[in-house]
């Protein structure tokens, strides 16, 4: 397990993964994923899909989840920097409604593991960011759901990381509140 450091967060199942970087005068090398090491670190998912997005500074994506086909995710940034957030939306969880956030960048090479049952979002802090993520289930467009990124009950401090107006998709400006999520039972 010397290839990775797995750090648990305040939300059960959310893990920060720090790879060991091998550097010399030629450059660097590191593993981004190793099934055996990840299983020893508590991440046992079978990932079925890899995705990549590119976004510009101020783009905020989220808070997203899938209802019938929940996805676990292993996320990382290969270019630029983002503030990445996971929100516990698992009914009955002791941390229901709580969030954790971590800065992911091409420099720190950290990854964030987000188990099934959590909502996910990120804010781009650099001029451009290339965001990569493995998913534990396939993407189903008709199953995509969201919670308002600036919900007052969840109270994520996005503004501490980026000044100015956020750039959102039309869909993300119309997500329900966390109270509506609770009232609907999803």
Please say if the pLDDT value at position 177 is more than 60: yes
Please say if the pLDDT value at position 1 is more than 70: no
pTM to 2 decimals?
0.95
Share of the chain above pLDDT 90, in %: 95
Whole-number Å distance between alpha carbons of 169 and 150: 14
Please say if the pLDDT value at position 93 is more than 90: yes
Q: Which CATH number fits domain 4-183: 2.60.40.1890, 3.20.20.80, 3.40.50.720, 2.60.120.10?
A: 2.60.120.10
pLDDT in tens, 112-123: 999 999 999 999
Please say if the pLDDT value at position 2 is more than 90: no
The answer to whether residues 88 and 100 touch, using CB atoms and an 8 Å cutoff, is no
Q: With 0-12 CB in 10 A as exposed, 13-18 as middle and 19+ as buried, what is 117?
A: middle
Please say if the pLDDT value at position 178 is more than 70: yes
pLDDT in tens, 157-168: 999 998 888 999
HSE toward the beta carbon, residue 144, CA cutoff 13 A: 13
Catalytic residues: 64, 133
Please say if the pLDDT value at position 78 is more than 90: yes
Domain ranges of the chain: 4-183
Q: With 0-12 CB in 10 A as exposed, 13-18 as middle and 19+ as buried, what is 126?
A: middle
**What b/e sequence results for 5-32 when a residue is b if at least 16 CB atoms lie within 10 Å of its CB, and e otherwise?**
ebeebebebbbbbebeeeeeeeeeeeee
Residue-level pLDDT at 162: 87
Cα 164 to the center of its chain, rounded Å: 22
Residue-level pLDDT at 185: 79
């Amino acid at each position: 397990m010397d290839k990775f450091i797995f750090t648990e967060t305040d939300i059960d199942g959310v893990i920060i993964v720090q790879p060991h970087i091998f550097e010399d005068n030629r450059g660097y090398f590191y593993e981004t994923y190793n099934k055996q090491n990840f299983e020893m670190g508590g991440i046992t998912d079978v990932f079925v899909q890899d995705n990549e997005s590119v976004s510009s500074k101020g783009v905020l994506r989220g808070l997203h989840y899938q209802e019938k086909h929940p996805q676990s995710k292993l996320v990382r940034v290969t270019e630029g920097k983002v503030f990445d957030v996971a929100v516990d939306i698992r009914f009955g969880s002791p941390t229901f409604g709580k969030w954790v956030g971590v800065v992911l960048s091409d420099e720190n090479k950290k990854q964030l593991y987000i188990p099934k049952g959590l909502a996910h979002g990120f804010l781009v802090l650099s001029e451009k960011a290339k965001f990569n993520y493995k998913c534990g289930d396939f993407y189903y467009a008709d199953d995509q759901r969201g919670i308002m990124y600036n919900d007052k009950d969840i109270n994520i401090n996005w503004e501490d990381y980026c000044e100015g107006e956020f750039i959102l998709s039309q869909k993300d400006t119309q997500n329900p509140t966390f109270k509506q999520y609770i009232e609907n039972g999803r």
